[in-house]
């Protein structure tokens, strides 16, 4: 039933129809959104943090201690 569906010529026709319906700018936005969604889905299953985005603790500068002025200098 679906044996000839994914031939290169059929995929080209499907792409051209999608290009006519959505236009080149919208089709690029759809592809970008789909790629980001798949990437987020994959990262949701992994225990690793993404290497390109630092965690909230890594972005904060280290807290510096402030000492109160000494009261001996009167």
Element (H, E) at 4: none
In the predicted structure, residue 35 carries a pLDDT above the cut 90: yes
Q: What residue ranges do the domains of the chain occupy?
A: 7-45
Q: What was the pLDDT predicted at 6?
A: 74
H-state helical runs in 23-55: 24-45
Q: What was the pLDDT predicted at 33?
A: 94
Q: What was the pLDDT predicted at 8?
A: 86
Structure confidence at residue 72 as a pLDDT band (50, 70, 90): low
Sign, CA dihedral 1-3-14-28, equals positive
């Amino acid at each position: 039933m679906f044996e000839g569906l994914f031939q290169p010529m059929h995929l080209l026709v499907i792409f051209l129809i999608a290009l006519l319906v959505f236009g080149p700018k919208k089709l690029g936005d759809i592809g970008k959104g789909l790629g980001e969604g798949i990437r987020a889905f994959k990262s949701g299953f992994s225990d690793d943090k993404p290497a390109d985005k630092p965690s909230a603790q890594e972005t904060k500068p280290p807290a510096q201690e402030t000492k109160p002025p000494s009261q001996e200098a009167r």
